[in-house]
Amino acid sequence: MLDLKFVRENPDLVKENIKKKFQDKKLPLVDEVIKLDADNRAAQAKGDELRAKKNKASKQIGALMAQGKKEEAEKVKAEVTAATADLAEVEKTQTELSAKIKEIMMTIPNIIDPSVPIGPDDSHNVEIEKFGEPVVPDFEIPYHVDIMEKLHGIDLDAARRVAGNGFYYLIGDIARLHSAVLAYARDFMINRGFTYCIPPFMIRHSVVDGVMSFDEMDSMMYKIEGEDLYLIGTSEHSMIGRFQGQTIPEADLPQTLTSYSPCFRKEKGAHGIEERGVYRIHQFEKQEMIVVCKPEEANMWYDKLWQNTVDLFRSMDIPVRTLNCCSGDLADLKVKSLDVEAWSPRQKKYFEVGSCSNLGDAQARRLGIRIKGENGSYFANTLNNTVVAPPRMLIAFLENNLNEDGSVNIPEVLRPYMGGKDIIKP
């Protein structure tokens, strides 16, 4: 969420940013919120005037009563009563105006970084760099579910009977591999100096409002009926929510955290949820990175975060590339974002396995996360990035480590988490 003063002083810049986001329908909101802000400040001034008048009159009443001037005191009392009624009306107006202003400010997108390419959708994302050499073997790579089924590692039919489309049972060595990847990712991030956390898997509406846009919430979040609770779509939500309303001393920054959680997503409007596979699903597990830092350190941490994901995948010999996400592909709170994509030998192309985001002070402003410095307090910056998110990541893993006989090689870094196994055989 932008600073209202910034919008008031830079309306043309804010409108230009909205155009770059291809959200022209939001352009009238800028003038509307500036008008509402002017009305609200006028109401504030009127309220201050009425309060001053009321306080002055209240003091007069006591003095007049002490002087025995009861009739004059009663007249002043009537003035106080009238001022009180007027003040109540003004305060009601202020409450209504403040609510309207907040509603609009929550929908105006964050100012994007100058490095963000301009484009309406993800087809305009720009490749930055490739890591590792993509390989297409001289034998046919089966669909990932067929690989798993040959290894007796998945049961989608039972999951469909139990929970519907978009769910799965992982079994045996595939289930173990799934857990091994998460455990390895956990230790990988701990070794890079991040503090490991397991957060709440449900959050209140106030936190949801703070960490994501309305459109994201509608398409992603599952609401717990009858409770002020939502299932998290990623542990970033509850991890950033941990700092809600807090003022963090500069000496305690940066906060560098890595968190595990299950993730729950409606995937409303998403294509592919009916497909036979585990690429787009309602439930999965993920290891995440979260950083809370000073604004001047945000870009440095952004580069460190995505590099961690690249290094993790390369340690398992999976080729990856990075993409600079274009303006139209950025959620409203993001300053910039980078996708990490893994190589698929079967499809002969890359597909997304992680996303790194710099949100500037947008989440901090919504949640009231401040930093205490020598010259006062200011809003923190927040960043997040996927370390690894199986079972989607398992698609890349299985395809890149598959042998012609259907067996799957286990990279050396994962063997300690697989009981020493170096291969999974049908």
pLDDT in tens, 42-83: 999 999 988 888 888 777 877 777 787 877 877 878 888 888
The DSSP result for 142-211, as a single string, is: PPHHHHHHHTT-EEHHHHHHHT-TT--EE-HHHHHHHHHHHHHHHHHHHTTTPEEE---SEE-HHHHHHH
Mean pLDDT of the chain: 93
Sheet holding 247-249, edge to edge: 247-249, 370-373, 376-379
Judge whether residue 387 has pLDDT over 70: yes
The domains found in the chain, sorted by start residue, are 4-105 (1.10.287.40), 122-424 (3.30.930.10)
pLDDT at 193 over 70: yes
Reply yes or no on whether the pLDDT at 150 is more than 90. Answer: yes
Please, which pLDDT band fits residue 425 given cuts at 50, 70 and 90?
very high
Which of 12, 130, 112 is CA-nearest to residue 326?
112
pLDDT at 215 over 80: no
Confidence of residue 394 (pLDDT cuts 50, 70, 90): very high
Of the candidates 262, 302, 83, 299, the one whose C-alpha atom is nearest the C-alpha of residue 179 is: 262
Contact (CB, 8 A) for 249 and 290: no
* Size of the chain, expressed as the number of residues it contains: 426
Residue 416 has pLDDT above 60, yes or no: yes
Q: Is the pLDDT of residue 214 over 80?
A: no
CA angle centred on 80, ends 76 and 82, rounded to 5°: 115
Of the pLDDT bands very low, low, confident and very high (cuts 50, 70, 90), residue 271 is low
pLDDT of 274 reads 52
Beta carbons of 370 and 379 less than 8 angstroms apart = yes
Distances (CA, A) of 366 to 206, 237, 312, 362: 9, 13, 32, 6
pLDDT in tens, 318-353: 999 999 999 999 999 999 999 999 999 999 999 999
Average pLDDT value for residue range 369-390: 96
pLDDT at 270: 55
Instruction: Name the residue among 349, 354, 422, 343 with its Cα closest to residue 390.
Output: 354
What share of the chain has pLDDT > 90, as a percent? 83
CA 29, 30, 36, 40 torsion: positive or negative? positive
Structure tokens belonging to residue 363: 């989440």
